[in-house]
């Protein structure tokens, strides 16, 4: 009986070893959690071609300097190849290290309630250094809302709303389910990618279509 027990353990071990060898030799192998990343949610903010074969998803933190670096690159991609792919942005605020990450996400989501999501998205990243470590960041965001000619009272109400808090938390949880550890994290058709620059991004998208 002992021999049978050890043989069973040996076969299980060999099976696991084969699985990990195959997985390591096939970098395109995507987990089921990552496959779900490319599924468009009703609450998602998207731009581009909804019928495109390539879906690019970014999990970002508006206070993250690296995310700010990639912002103009992604914007150029959407301008140049917008009819060839769909871009989805989801919130992944790193609250432990960025004190204004959550409030900035709330501000962009609130602007979206008045059809100015992408405009506020751009301003928040472009002027990141002005508010990132500012204790009055909320007041700065309200100023941005007025620049965009938003209804300030509605903007403030939406920033504080439970719906927007839940939307941000939903984005965060979907990122955690996809094993995201930092920002920005990009997925192209469910596969995590690490492009260095515009050229890398463009080549990956063109390859996907």
For 64-103, the DSSP string reads: -HHHHHHHHHHHHHHHHHTTTEEEEEEE---TTT-TTHHH
Position 6 scores a pLDDT of 46
Short-list 64, 36, 43, CA closest to 176: 36
Mean pLDDT of the residues in the chain: 87
Grade residue 38 by pLDDT with cuts at 50, 70 and 90: confident
Distance between CA atoms of 6 and 4, rounded to whole angstroms?
6
Tokens of 89: 């942005």
pLDDT at residue 9, rounded to an integer: 40
pLDDT for residue 36:
84
Express each pLDDT in 55-102 by its tens digit.
999 999 999 999 999 999 999 999 999 899 999 999 999 999 999 999
More confident residue, 22 or 4: 4
Mean pLDDT of 183-197: 96
Could you tell me the pLDDT band of residue 4, with boundaries at 50, 70 and 90? very low
Residue 67 confidence (pLDDT): 97
Report residue 57: phi and psi, to 5°.
Answer: -120, 130
Neighbours of 68 (CB within 10 A): 20
Is the model's pLDDT at 203 over the cut of 70? yes
Q: Which of 9-18, 34-43, 122-131 has the highest mean pLDDT?
A: 122-131
Q: Is 122 in contact with 71 (CB distance < 8 Å)?
A: yes
Instruction: Check residue 166 and give its pLDDT.
Output: 97
Average pLDDT value for residue range 136-162: 98
Tell me, what's the pLDDT at 31? 40
* pLDDT bucket at 22, cuts 50 / 70 / 90: very low
Q: Tens digits of per-residue pLDDT, 45-61?
A: 999 999 999 999 999 99
């Amino acid at each position: 009986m002992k021999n049978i027990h050890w043989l069973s353990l040996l076969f299980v071990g060999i099976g696991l070893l084969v699985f990990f060898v195959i997985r390591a030799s096939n970098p395109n192998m995507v987990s089921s959690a990552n496959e779900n990343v490319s599924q468009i949610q009703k609450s998602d903010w998207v731009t581009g071609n909804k019928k495109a074969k390539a879906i690019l998803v970014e999990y970002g933190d508006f206070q993250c300097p690296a995310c700010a670096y990639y912002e103009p690159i992604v914007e150029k991609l959407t301008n140049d190849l917008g009819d060839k792919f769909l871009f989805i942005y989801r919130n992944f605020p790193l609250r432990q290290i960025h004190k204004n990450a959550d409030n900035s996400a709330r501000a962009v989501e609130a602007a979206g309630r008045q059809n100015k999501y992408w405009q506020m998205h751009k301003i928040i990243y472009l002027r990141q250094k002005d508010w990132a470590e500012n204790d009055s960041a909320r007041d700065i965001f309200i100023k941005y809302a007025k620049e965009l000619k938003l209804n300030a009272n509605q903007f403030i109400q939406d920033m504080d709303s439970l719906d927007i808090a839940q939307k941000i938390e939903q984005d965060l949880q979907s990122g955690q389910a996809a094993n995201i550890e930092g920002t920005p994290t990009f997925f192209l058709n469910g596969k995590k990618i690490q492009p260095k620059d515009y050229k890398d991004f463009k080549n990956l998208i063109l390859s996907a279509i």
